[in-house]
């Protein structure tokens, strides 16, 4: 198998945000297009970034129109704003939503059309403006990956847009930024990274280079999430940052799986964050995949339970059970019915039919049918 491995230049470490100005200069920045969101503004990080840029004599235009689960029309409006302002480098500071908004704007600004024209893999033809992404969570991995997730409002679905040119030029990961995050956001982000790592490991196009990053991420998240939540120590938060970067190196190059396909479809319909649905769906999809590739799932099981049981299947299942107990140790929803009212349950069928079409489903050990997706949803209702 021929495999590709591409990542941005990564500047990692406590205080690395301070290098944003020098990095922007290296990308040729004179006047940058800044993308962020209200939470980051409020926490003071945006102003900090603006100060750093100003110190290097870099001008900026600020585009504030980011919401969680970014929508098609927001990206298209952002691109108009971009084109009016004659900027040269796109910089986003925020979580997956701010970074994906920036990526969507970059696509439309340089390739034209509507964002839904680019759904799926490798549909973006012309080069994008230089991009620098500064993540404020340890989860989405958008700062490393060739993925961009935008909601198509008409169909009510989160579209996966996947293309190598979406890998930014530079990714800045500063664990100190995580200190201002809420407990629930730290958990959701870490669980998202864990799902990235596990799905990338199981992917049909996983390679030795993505596999080592997947396993590293799984190991770090299981070892450090509880202490990160309990103590908020920078040491633990830094370990989660390393895990999130590793997980994104893996999934950006190996793709994801059926769980993310279903999460996108559910999230598009109900406007839910990824991180909320993973503790509900992930182990259920792992059980589904265990029938198809118990050997690889046993590698994950061995890493989680730190030993090998009688058979691959036993090892894999013991790992899944330990993972379920791990999720249950946090204050998170574990059944779909905790998130979706019974009166909306009938939407599951169209949601599952949509999930089949998601690009992430293609790299699952075996793509799931809509009936299989529905069965998974019913199991975890």
| Chain contacts with a second copy (rule: CB under 8 A) | 1-7, 9-16, 19, 164, 207-209, 212-213, 216, 242, 245-246
**Min separation Cβ 115 and a second copy, Å:** 24
Residue number, 164 or 179, with CB nearest to a second copy:
164
**Min separation Cβ 89 and a second copy, Å:** 16
Residue number, 197 or 276, with CB nearest to a second copy:
197
**Min separation Cβ 11 and a second copy, Å:** 6
Contact 187, 202 (CB under 8 A): no
**Min separation Cβ 254 and a second copy, Å:** 13
122-144 burial, b if ≥16 CB within 10 A, otherwise e?
A: eebeeebbbbbbbbbbbbbbbbb
Residue number, 27 or 320, with CB nearest to a second copy:
27
Residue number, 14 or 114, with CB nearest to a second copy:
14
**Min separation Cβ 248 and a second copy, Å:** 12
Residue 200: how many other CB atoms lie within 10 Å = 31
**Min separation Cβ 357 and a second copy, Å:** 28
Cα distance from N-terminal residue to C-terminal residue, the chain:
39
Q: Determine how β-strand 147-152 pairs with β-strand 157-162.
A: antiparallel
The H-assigned helical ranges of 10-160 are 20-26, 38-42, 45-55, 72-85, 96-111
CA within 13 Å, CB half, 90: 32
Residue number, 7 or 32, with CB nearest to a second copy:
7
Contact 140, 96 (CB under 8 A): yes
> 3-class SS at 188?
helix
Residue 223: how many other CB atoms lie within 10 Å = 14
Residue number, 16 or 111, with CB nearest to a second copy:
16
């Amino acid at each position: 198998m021929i495999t590709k491995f591409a990542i941005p230049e990564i500047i990692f470490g406590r205080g690395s945000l301070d290098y944003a100005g020098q990095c922007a200069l290296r990308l040729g920045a004179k006047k940058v297009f800044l993308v962020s969101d209200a939470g980051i503004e409020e926490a003071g990080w945006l102003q900090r970034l603006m100060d750093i840029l100003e110190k290097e004599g870099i001008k900026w235009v600020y585009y504030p129109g980011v919401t969680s689960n970014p929508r098609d029309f927001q990206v298209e409006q952002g691109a108009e704003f971009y084109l009016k302002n004659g900027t040269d480098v796109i910089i986003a500071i925020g979580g997956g939503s701010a970074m994906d908004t920036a990526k969507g704007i970059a696509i439309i600004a340089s390739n034209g059309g509507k964002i839904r024209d680019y759904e799926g893999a490798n549909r973006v033809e012309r080069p994008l403006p230089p991009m620098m992404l500064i993540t404020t969570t340890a989860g989405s991995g958008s700062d490393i990956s060739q993925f961009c997730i935008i909601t198509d409002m008409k169909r009510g679905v989160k579209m996966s847009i996947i293309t190598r040119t979406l890998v930014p030029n530079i990714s800045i990961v500063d664990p100190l930024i995580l200190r201002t995050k809420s407990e629930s956001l730290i958990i959701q982000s870490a669980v998202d990274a864990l799902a990235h790592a596990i799905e990338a490991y199981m992917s049909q196009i996983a390679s030795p280079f993505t596999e080592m990053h997947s396993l590293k991420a799984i190991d770090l998240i299981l070892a450090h999430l509880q202490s990160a939540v309990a103590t908020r120590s920078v040491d633990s938060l830094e370990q989660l940052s390393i895990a999130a970067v590793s997980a994104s190196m893996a999934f950006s190059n190996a793709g994801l799986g059926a769980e993310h396909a279903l999460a996108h479809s559910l999230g598009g319909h109900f406007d839910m964050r990824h991180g909320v649905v993973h503790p509900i769906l992930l182990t259920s999809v792992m059980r589904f995949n265990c029938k198809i590739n118990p050997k690889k799932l046993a590698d994950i099981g061995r890493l989680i339970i730190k030993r090998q049981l009688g058979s691959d299947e036993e090892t894999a299942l013991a790992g899944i059970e330990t993972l379920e107990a791990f999720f249950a140790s946090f204050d998170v929803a574990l059944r779909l019915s905790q998130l979706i009212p019974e009166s909306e349950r009938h939407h599951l069928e169209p949601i599952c039919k949509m999930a089949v079409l998601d690009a992430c489903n293609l790299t699952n050990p075996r793509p799931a049918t809509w009936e299989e997706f529905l069965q998974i949803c019913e199991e975890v209702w």
